[in-house]
Structure 1
Amino acid sequence: MPNVAAVRLTYNPRVLWFDPNGVEFSAGDALIVKTERGLEYGVADENLKEVSEDAIAKLKSPLKPVMRKATSEDSAKWANLQAQAEEALPVFKEMVEQYKLDMHPVTVEFLFDGDKAIFYFEADERIDFRELVRALAAKFHVRIDMRQIGVRDEARIVGGFGHCGQELCCARLGGQFNPVSIRMAKDQDLSLNPQKISGLCGRLMCCLRYESDTYKEFKCHCPKQGSMVKVPGGEAKVVEINVPRETVTLQVEDKRVRVPVAEMGVDKKSGKPNSVSADVLEAAINAANPNMQVAEIVDRSIFTGTDKLAEAPVARHNESSRKSRKAEADEEQGRSSRRRRRSRGASSQATVEEKRDSQRKQRSRGETAGGEDQQKQGQGRVKRRSSQTAQGSKRRDGQASQNVQPKRSSDKPQQQKNRGAAQKQDKPKQQRRPGQRSSGLSQTKAQGSQQTQASETSTHRRPRRRTHKAQGGESQNREQ
């Protein structure tokens, strides 16, 4: 039978077979092998292995040779290439962000020849990365190979620990991925919560497939859950099935009894167990009752016969601790009362200060309003005086125009006019009161009193109707 060398490569999950080519090695030795990509660095998974010729014939390609056993120089070169790969990964991520490509960089691998680098990335769709390949080639000066992988391959390369606490099955066991369905979880009576049946990759756990065939086979040879089974004195219902222990739980009257499937009677037609004998049922009941059978798990030779059970725990109170706790509580209560007083005093001071501020603001507003009123009154007085002087000038102009008139043939009107002027001159001149307009007209006492009352009540004056006696006299003379 031919011998093969089982070698595990760094980024290949499966163990590959190679032709030993006369090289002697043992499990765990580093080997330099030749693959389709070139020279690669690998580790022997086991010693020389004998396989049949039929197994070699089923391979898709002929066996590649093992070149040599790795030397110290080869190991140092491989360590240097690994360091270059770690430094290249951040650069790979930066360039992906720079070109805004929808991909997730996973890792970088430099082949042992040193003239080729493989960049692994994960993406949902096909991506045009031609510009990215040119940039990477200009940066690293090697041939660039872009390799798109799935989320399961990413988890296998990166590695990690699963829900069970062990290393991921895909990284530890390797092998080819097989499809996993939700039906496998249902057959194993597992919870269908995605968080419990999904792995780190976000897909269903690979281990669901490992025991799927075992569950299927056992359920084909045991009664279904909810079915009835014959027992001495009647029937019992199957309420639970335990596949790892290969037992079923029966509801017998008001008890639950666990019976091994191998000890049940089998129906000839269906080929499934459907009955339990009296001996098997009695043994199952005795095993379920702890009072009937005592397990010898403790060496009784260590007991003297006068041993007693431990006393029940009793709470013991210390008087000093009670006093200290009470003193602490009183002190805390005093602190809280002092804080309340301080807060009340601070609040009262704040209210007093607010009242003072409001009073000051009101006073300042009153002073500004009073000043504005005084300014308005002064402006009104100035306007009234200017209007009085203008009216006086108009009146004098009117009198001058009246005095300069053409002589008439009749002397009576002229004499009456002269008499009226003389009477006016003889009359004493009335003194003006402050705020009175200089109209030059004779006013009655009633009108003067009304004017003073109006001036006292309001600063604005109502316009008065003016009548000139001179004009009235002229109109009378014309009528005569």
Structure 2
Amino acid sequence: MEEKDRKCPRGKLHCFNWMEDIPGGVTDFDIVEVQFKNTRKGFYRNSANIDLAIGDTVAVESAPGHDIGVVTLTGKLVALQMRRANVKPDAEIKRVFRKAKPADLEKYEEAKARENDTMIRARKIAESLNLNMKIGDVEYQGDSNKAIFYYIADERVDFRQLIKVLADTFKVRIEMKQIGARQEAGRIGGIGSCGRPLCCASWMTNFVSVGTSAARYQDISLNPQKLAGQCAKLKCCLNFEVDTYVESARHLPGREIRLETADNTYFHFKTDIFKKEITYSTDKQIAANLVTISAARAFEVIDMNRRGEKPLQLQADDAEKSSAKAKPIDLASQDDLTRFDKAKKKKRKKKSGGGNGQKQEGQQQKPQAEKQDAPKAPKNAGEQPQKQQRRRNDNPEANAATQQPGQQKNQRQRNKDNRREPKAQQPRQQNAPQTEKPDAPAERPNRIPKAFRDNQE
């Protein structure tokens, strides 16, 4: 069944058979619906009781000869389609001959290949006869015995001479069929201003007249360039939602009603059907002092005017405004989208002078030195921090080579102070910390340089 559904053209003439699962659907009704090129379709009686399904290509009776089409509907649902198409019960219904044979399909394809050339030549013939008409399409019958010419014209056309010329030129039976601009657009197809295929070419089965009142009900600007479709007529989609607008307008006050207040008179300016809000203006011709209120408030003011009362202002009180719904919050604006792109801040080393600053600098540089020398074991790894400090004090020249310029200057100043006055005579600082540190031993030996001892002697 799936393969047959693929053969069946899915378009505007396709009807979903919702009674397909009901047993006995074929035997209950012996008429099937057959679709031909574009919008043409017909109903044919299956008098031979052929097992037909949707998607089968069949040869049906025609005048003269036979035609080739595709079955689009079977069963009881065909009766509803006939009622919709206004087919009378006593109308003559033609027969289904057989399923199409390969020879029938081959002849049908040859006839379709001639349609484009026939249409171009027919247009030139109509132009030579000075006929005010446009031939939009040509359709050959399945056995190539008849051709249908579809044309559009703004006025009545006498095409009797045209039929004679066409019959002598193409050697087939000629049938002329007038169509409207909408039907022509549906047969040709195209893309609408909405970016989708034309409704008349994709799913619409019948066309209803469209008036400018449909645009007025929906508050659409009466711009002919925007309201007209590719067929140069008003767009069919203007009728799609007009009933909903008309129904919603019944629950809103009339546009001709005026609202009286203590200080002014307000006239209707525009209406928002979806929000059920109405905008009023103090001037009937132009927008002046616009005030937007709800439909409930408008009916309340109208009742007050009928009783002879006039409110102080058109809008509701502040208590009613506060009860109105709050505006939605945009959750996306609460978070920073670049919060994951921020780089980590690098820790900067503190640079400070003096003894305390030198100790802090030494404490910060010490872990880095240990990380760099981690693969290699240092020679003095087993010595205690106090012994390492004494060794640095004993050899001030080697220690000054590894220090920074600012630290070297501080070290020279301390060496001068040590030469001038012994360490034991220096007063103890009041703010010195009580706890012992590895780089500041508790008992420091008083080492006097040799040059200072010679001067004393």
TM-score when normalising by structure 1 = 0.49
The equivalent residue for 2:68 is 41
Choose which of 315, 330, 340 in structure 2 pairs with 1:295: 330
Matches within 5 A, 1:357-436: none
CA distance in 1, matches of 2:152, 2:184: 7
Distance in 1 (CA, whole Å) between partners of 2:219 and 2:235 is 15
Are residues 204 and 297 of structure 1, via their aligned partners in 2, closer, same or farther at CA, if it must alter by over 3 Å? same
For residues 302 and 64 of structure 2, what CA distance do their matches in structure 1 show?
61
Task: Check if 1:9 corresponds to 2:39.
Answer: no
* Residues 330-379 of structure 1: per-residue CA shift (max 9 Å, x gap): xxxxxxxxxxxxxxxxxxxxxxxxxxxxxxxxxxxxxxxxxxxxxxxxxx
Matched residues in 2 for 1:45 and 1:53: separation?
A: 14
- State the alpha-carbon separation in 2 of the partners of residues 160 and 282 from structure 1: 51
Which residue does the alignment assign to 2:109? 79
Letter in 1 for 2:331: E
Partner Cα distance (1:307, 1:260) in 2 = 51
- 1:128 corresponds to 2:158: yes
1:214 equivalenced with 2:252 (yes/no): no
Aligned to 2:87: 59
Pair 1:189 & 2:219 matched: yes
Say which of 270, 273, 277 aligns to 1:248: 277
The reply on whether 1:50 has 2:80 as its aligned counterpart is no
Pairwise CA RMSD: 4.6
Query: Percent of aligned positions with the same letter in both sequences?
Result: 29
The alpha-carbon deviation at position 186 of structure 1 amounts to: 0.8
**1:157-176 → structure 2 map (5 Å cutoff):** 157-176=187-206
SS at match of 2:165: helix
Alignment of 1:256-405 (within 5 A): 281-282=321-322, 284-287=324-327, 294-297=329-332, 307=342
Q: 2:123 is matched with which residue: 90, 93, 100?
A: 93
Shift of 1:194: 0.9
Please point out which of 134, 144, 148 is paired with 1:114. Answer: 144
Q: Evaluate the alpha carbon distance shift between residue 285 and residue 220 of structure 1 in structure 2; reply closer, same or farther with a 3 A threshold.
A: same
Counterpart position of 1:142: 172
1:56 Cα deviation (Å)? 4.8
Structure 1 residue 239: Cα displacement: 6.2
- Tell me how far apart the structure 2 counterparts of residues 38 and 222 of structure 1 sit (CA, whole Å): 61
The answer (yes or no) to whether the contact 1:26–1:48 under 8 Å persists in 2 is: no
Query: What letter matches 2:167 in structure 1?
Result: A
Q: Which amino acid aligns with 1:211?
A: E
Query: Cα–Cα, structure 1 residues 56 and 236, in superposed 2: closer, same or farther, change >3 Å?
Result: closer
Deviation at 1:55, TM superposition (A): 6.7
Structure 2: runs of 5 or more not aligned: 1-24, 281-288, 305-313, 344-457
Task: Judging by fraction of residues, say which structure has more helix.
Answer: 1
> What's the offset of the Cα at 1:217?
0.6
Q: Distance in 1 between matches of 2:332 and 2:75?
A: 48
Distance change (3 Å), C-alpha of 1:161 and 1:229: same
**Residues 82 and 219 (structure 1), Cα distance of their counterparts in 2 relative to 1, 3 Å cut:** same
Q: 1:156 matched to which residue of 2? A: 186
Number of residue pairs matched by the alignment: 294
Tell me the amino acid that sits aligned with residue 9 of structure 1: F
- Provide Cα deviations, 1:303-328, integer angstroms capped at 9, x if missing partner: 768959xxxxxxxxxxxxxxxxxxxx
1:229-244 to structure 2, matched below 5 A, reads: 240-243=270-273
Given that 2:65 and 2:145 are in contact with CA atoms closer than 8 Å, whether structure 1 keeps it comes out as no
For residues 318 and 76 of structure 2, the distance between their equivalents in structure 1, rounded to whole angstroms, comes to 55
1:118 & 1:247 partners in 2: Cα distance?
A: 52
Q: Which has the higher Rg, Structure 1 or Structure 2?
A: 1
Pick one of 112, 133, 155 that aligns with 1:103: 133
CA contact 1:223–1:238 (8 Å) conserved in 2: no
- In 1, are the aligned partners of 2:148 and 2:175 still within 8 Å (CA)? yes
Q: In the TM superposition, what whole-angstrom CA distance separates every residue of 1:97-123 from its partner, at most 9, and x where no partner exists?
A: 222222212121111132111222222
For residues 52-110 of structure 1, what are the alpha-carbon distances to aligned partners after superposition, in whole Å with 9 as ceiling and x for unaligned? Answer: 67975963236554444444443333221111111211211221222222221212111
- What corresponds to 2:363 in structure 1? none
Partner of 1:417: none
Three-state SS of the structure 1 residue aligned to 2:249 is helix
Would you say the 8 A contact 1:5–1:49 is kept in 2? no
The 1-side partners of 2:155 and 2:110 are apart by 34
Once the 2 structures are TM-superposed, how far is the Cα of residue 176 of structure 1 from its aligned partner? 2.4
SS in 1 for 2:132: coil
In structure 2, the CA distance between the partners of 1:44 and 1:237, relative to structure 1 (3 Å rule), is farther
Structure 1 residues 266 and 306: alpha-carbon distance in aligned structure 2, compared to 1, 3 A threshold:
farther
Unaligned runs of 5+ in 1: 288-292, 309-480
